[in-house]
A and B are shown apart, each in its own frame.
Chain A
Amino acid sequence: MAQGAENTVAAATRAVVLAPDVAGRVRKSRFRREWRNPIGLVGAAIVLFTVVLAVCAPIISPYVPSAQGYGRLVEPNAAHWMGTDELGRDQLSRIIYGARVSLQVGAVSVVLALVAGLLIGVAAGFYRGWLDDWLMRVVDIVFAFPGLVLAIVIAGLLGPSRTNAMIAIGIVYAPAFARVIRGSVLSVMAESYVEAARVVGASDVRIMLRHLLPNIMAPIIVLTTVYLSTAILSEASLSFLGLGTQPPEPSWGGMLNAARRFMELAPWLAIFPGCAIMLVVLGFNFLGDGLRDILDPRIRTP
């Protein structure tokens, strides 16, 4: 498998190799042209909408999400647009607050994966040699695990909680970042401007910060957006299994799990949280696809 992943990822990294020197001029006109591409725009709008919901949750949500006593399992009506749950809580309010959990877990776990992936990928690609060999060997082994299975094991062993779900998802996706970043670093290191910087005596850190990082930004941006969607799905999956965010905190995965026991009586409990998950994930996927078109169509995403 190490080999299997190697082949696929080698192909992916080869594809990821950027077009950094295709001049900012070209990129700018591209940006203008592609930004009319509605897929990316729709994605950006959905993401923005969700962020606003999450940030302004206390202002927007019609009820307090933990407040009970609006009648149990009430059908959607004018007062409760999405009905109430088995404890008599307003589902719309819980879904609005759930956006906070989703976005927070997604963002934190992707940042974790990104930071770990950057450290590993840059160290491996910059210094090569035995460090590269060993780091990549470890990365390959983690990579060889089915992602969600690994997340289930880590989150389960750490103990079900939101923090631990973030850690688990971060660990699971770090290898993907590390591999892509290493591949980009390798290709940039072969550029003559890096050699030139060396010749004039720039330090390693200076080369990394001034020459390397700016030129590997495109795949990092696209990867981050795409993995945000995957991380949100993973959090929802973990919470659905009872291994992520714990009730009574409102998380979409957890709400869906709770809904399973009542769904024949109250199908709306199973429908709305799923729609919320789908919409946000779709937003990030659209945005990622649009960004890829703008930044570099050769970057492959899942």
Chain B
Amino acid sequence: MGKYVLRRLLLLIPTLIGMSLLIFVMLRLLPGDVVDLMTGGDIAASAEAKQALRQAFGLDKPLPVQYIEWVAGLARGDLGLSLRSREPISGVLMRALPVTLELTLLAIIIGTITAVPLGVLSATKPDAAIDYWSRIAGLIGLSLPNFWLATLALLFTSLWFRWVPPINYISPFADPIGNLQQMLIPAFAIALHLMAIVMRMTRTMMLEVLRQDYVRTARAKGAGERLVVYRHALRNALIPVVSVIGFQVGALMGGSAIVEVIFGLNGVGNTLVQGIFNRDYPLIQASALFLATIFVVVNLVVDLLYGYLDPRVKLA
């Protein structure tokens, strides 16, 4: 197991290098000169002024050198300064991280604890109607735009309860109830797609597992139906569900970006979107890589968990 974990950790390095290269290349190769944009397309800005800016940001150096300097900075935890606020980006992202992590985590919890029982229920009641409606409900869940849900939630809470979300992030450690009041609705908006996907997946896997020999054996030895369903079937059915959840975290990151913007939460996604509007290139670079890294790390954890849940995987 230790060796497996180590190998997977080492495999993380080429992925991260590839992603940082991709982000770097995108920012440099896509049309639009950073300096031109920063001077606001101002023709009056003299060539010397532009050259000075380029030098200040190290943009006059060859691309490979720029890339290596950026990565070297990353390795030291130095993400550079925001072009807009002149603040160290590492500080900005560290402040934003808890918001995004909490949103994602809450969404996973909400999505799992609601969808798994629903999936089990629809799989264990082999009734055509329940089967059918659960399928339709899943597809409807997949089709609801999360930003619309978030907007409507905001609209109706303010219309009916005169409640407007607080502007500043309330730490769950300082005020757990205030924090949940603030985060629950946005988390639910993001969680809906996940719920639909987890429900569909749980249902499919349960149907498959309930046909297995060991389930018949369990029934034959006289185990109660609940024991069979929850101990024997569900535990095995959940293994692929776990990997689907890991896989969906990428979608949750995208969803949380939009929902953070709507609710004015200062998470990593919101930071990225603000960076794009302000043409704050170092901030875009850093926050995009940050989100991608969270996704990659979560999936590594899921994979390791997978190896733990399903011992056969380790041999592979």
Taking a contact as CB atoms closer than 8 A, the residue among B249, B257, B284 that contacts A148 in the complex is B257
A237 B288 Cβ-Cβ under 8 A: no
B295 A1 Cβ-Cβ under 8 A: yes
CB of B19, distance to nearest CB on chain A (Å): 6
Contact with B along A287-302 (1 / 0, CB 8 A): 0010000000000001
Instruction: Determine if A48 is an interface residue (Cβ-Cβ < 8 Å).
Output: no
Interface residues of B in 243-287 (CB under 8 A from A): 243-244, 246-247, 249-251, 253-255, 257-258, 261-262, 269, 272-273, 276-277, 284
Which residues of B lie under 8 Å from residue A271 when comparing CB positions? Answer: 152
Chain A binder among B51-59, B143-151, B209-217: B143-151
**In the complex where A158-B31, A267-B159 touch, is A149 in contact with B292 (Cβ < 8 A)?**
yes
* Bound-complex Cα distance A154 to B273 (A): 12
Name the residue among A141, A142, A240, A285 with the largest chain B CB count within 10 angstroms.
A141
Taking a contact as CB atoms closer than 8 A, the residue among B143, B152, B246, B296 that contacts A281 in the complex is B143
Instruction: Determine if A256 is an interface residue (Cβ-Cβ < 8 Å).
Output: yes
B254 A149 Cβ-Cβ under 8 A: yes
Which residues of A lie under 8 Å from residue B254 when comparing CB positions? Answer: 146-149, 151-152, 237
Taking a contact as CB atoms closer than 8 A, the residue among B30, B159, B253 that contacts A146 in the complex is B253
Instruction: Determine if A5 is an interface residue (Cβ-Cβ < 8 Å).
Output: yes
B27 A157 Cβ-Cβ under 8 A: yes
Instruction: Determine if A156 is an interface residue (Cβ-Cβ < 8 Å).
Output: yes
Chain A binder among B62-70, B117-125, B134-142: B134-142
Instruction: Determine if B18 is an interface residue (Cβ-Cβ < 8 Å).
Output: yes
Instruction: Determine if A24 is an interface residue (Cβ-Cβ < 8 Å).
Output: no
Instruction: Determine if A45 is an interface residue (Cβ-Cβ < 8 Å).
Output: no
B136 A243 Cβ-Cβ under 8 A: no
Contact with B along A152-192 (1 / 0, CB 8 A): 11101111000000000000000000000000000000000
**In the complex where A153-B288, A278-B143 touch, is A4 in contact with B148 (Cβ < 8 A)?**
no
Which residues of B lie under 8 Å from residue A240 when comparing CB positions? Answer: 147, 258
Which residues of A lie under 8 Å from residue B23 when comparing CB positions? Answer: 153
Chain A binder among B72-80, B173-181, B299-307: B299-307
Instruction: Determine if B240 is an interface residue (Cβ-Cβ < 8 Å).
Output: yes
A229 B302 Cβ-Cβ under 8 A: no
Taking a contact as CB atoms closer than 8 A, the residue among A3, A8, A142, A281 that contacts B247 in the complex is A8
A264 B158 Cβ-Cβ under 8 A: yes
Instruction: Determine if A2 is an interface residue (Cβ-Cβ < 8 Å).
Output: yes
Q: Which 6 A-B pairs have the closest CB atoms?
A: A148-B254, A156-B276, A274-B148, A4-B299, A1-B296, A146-B250
The interface of chain B, by Cβ under 8 A from chain A, is: 8, 11-12, 14-15, 18-19, 22-23, 26-27, 30-32, 135-136, 139-140, 142-145, 147-148, 151-152, 155, 158-159, 197, 240, 243-244, 246-247, 249-251, 253-255, 257-258, 261-262, 269, 272-273, 276-277, 284, 288, 291-292, 295-297, 299-300, 302-303, 306
The interface of chain A, by Cβ under 8 A from chain B, is: 1-5, 7-8, 11, 39, 137-138, 140-142, 144-154, 156-159, 229, 233, 236-237, 240-243, 253, 256, 259-260, 263-264, 267, 270-271, 273-274, 277-278, 281-282, 285-286, 289, 302
- Sample of 5 more A-B contacts, CB < 8 Å, known A3-B300, A157-B30: A147-B254, A148-B254, A152-B257, A157-B276, A237-B254
